[in-house]
Structure formats: structure tokens, C-alpha cells
Structure 1
Amino acid sequence: LALARAGRDARYYSARHASAELVGPPPADGRVHFGSRVTFDRDDGRRQTFRIVGEDEAEPAEGTISYVSPVARALMGKEVGDVAVVAGGEVEIVAIG
């Protein structure tokens, strides 16, 4: 069982490595892109900051979210001052880095 699991994991990581794409820094055009660090205010007064990363890099507790997450998808293409709907509530973008 352990050998089968190790083989499966090795195949998975090998496939992920083969399909990985190096992405440069996001454009400095004032919009949210893959790789952007976005700070936003929620309806309930919380301020959160996340960097938008690939699926394998995402660790929300450490401030990174996947580009396919609902939060990231709602923020993509937005600018400072824009409002997006996230989890049924609104968030306002206050900074993009």
C-alpha cells in the first residue's frame, strides 16, 4: 500500500513538473492579475490581503489563494476602488501590488 501510494505521488509530481509554466511578474497596469497581491475590505470590516498563485502554491492561511478560487476569479481584472461580490458579500479593493 505504501509503495503504491509513493508511486502514485511520484507520477503526480512528475506530471505537474512537466506541465508547470514559469510566469513573470504581473503587469503594472493597476489591475488584478495572476501573481498580484490584493488587499480588500469586506462588508464586515475585515481587511484581507492575498497573493494570487497557482493551484499547487495556494495556502490561504499563509496569504496565497489559487487563481481558480472564487475569490481570485471575482477579483481578476479589477482595479483599486472596484467592488466585487465574494461569497454573497461585497469586497472593495484597496491596494494591488
Structure 2
Amino acid sequence: MSVAFAKEESAEAASETILPARPISDRPNLVTKAGLQMLQEALAGAQQALAVANALDDVNERRRQSAIPFRDIHYYSRRVETARVSPPPSSNDVVAFGHTISFERDDGRVQTYRIVGEDEANPSQASISHGSPVALALLGKAVGDIVELGPRRLEILSISWADESGS
């Protein structure tokens, strides 16, 4: 009976550790230089976490601990493989990938965001994905343009680009 229980426990543990794949966007995987570095670091971190998990003696705990790194390795490997580093914008005349845009909303709020790749976007850090509704509405527009975004209006106040290295 203890052997049957052990097998049942292993089967249960195995089913608990099969995680669904992280969704991968069908958009082009545009990234900044910093975004590619972030993806490579995330892949290396997942590989390191999997190595640590694989060193565990308990097979059930090994499965549990390796589930997330295994899923992340698949995701980040694919993202690094498909990443296309976008060159810096050629001018600040119209909004493009990599630009920082300041705009005024119809309620008077002024917001500033940088348009970056999907994996590096973080609105709380003033960056948005090139596939976000706001970025899609702004791309190709110029300073002074008014952009309709559903019931809202945005007026582009400035377009700039700064070298990622800070220089």
C-alpha cells in the first residue's frame, strides 16, 4: 500500500508542476539594446534556477522547483531568438519605436512614456509596449497632432530620444 501511495503522490506532484506556457505575442519582437540585455539576463536567471532545482535530492520537490524555471527558459529562449534590436529613431519628427513622448490628455493631465518592446514595458517606470493602444495611436504622429483614443483625445507635446547608455 505504501508503494501505491508513493506512486499516487508522485503522479499528483507531477500534474501540479506542469505549468501552461507563457503566452508569446504574435507581434514583431522589437526590443531596445537594454531590452535584449534584460531578456538575456532573464534567460540566464531561469537557467540558473533550473540548475539549482535539478540538484535537489527529493524528486517531487525537484519537479516543483523546476516548473517555473523550465517554463521561463522556453519563453525567454524564444524571445531572445526572435528579438530584433530596433535602431535608434532617425529623427524626432514623428513618433517611432524608442521615442519618449509627452502628451496631454483631454482632462489636462500630461504624461510621458517611452515606447519599448513588450517584455521591457513597465508603465510605472514610464515605458509602454509598442503594441499598447496608446503607442499604436501615437506611432507616426508629430508634435501638435491630436490623437483620438476611444472617447479620449491626446495632444502630442514633445518627441525625444535619449541614448540608452545615458550619454
TM-score range, shorter chain: over 0.9
Structure 1 gap ranges (5+) = none
4+ runs of 1 displaced by more than 3 Å? none
Q: Tell me if 1:22 matches 2:60.
A: no
Aligned 1:82-97 pairs, distance under 5 A: 82-97=145-160
Q: Tell me if 1:43 matches 2:97.
A: no
User: Residues 61-95 of structure 1, C-alpha deviation per residue, up to 9 Å, x if partnerless?
Assistant: 11000000000000010000000012421010010
Equivalenced residue count is 97
1:60 and 1:3 map into 2 onto residues whose CA distance is: 30
Corresponding residue for 2:134? 71
Q: Tell me if 1:55 matches 2:118.
A: yes
> Which one-letter code corresponds to 1:8 in the other structure?
R
> Which one-letter code corresponds to 2:89 in the other structure?
P
Q: Which has the larger radius of gyration?
A: 2
C-alpha RMSD of the superposition: 1.1
Higher strand proportion: 1
Counting aligned pairs with the same residue, the percent is 47
Structure 2 gap ranges (5+) = 1-63, 161-167
User: Residues 22-79 of structure 1, C-alpha deviation per residue, up to 9 Å, x if partnerless?
Assistant: 1111120500001111000011110000000000010001100000000000001000
> Which one-letter code corresponds to 2:120 in the other structure?
E
Normalised by the length of structure 2, the TM-score is 0.56
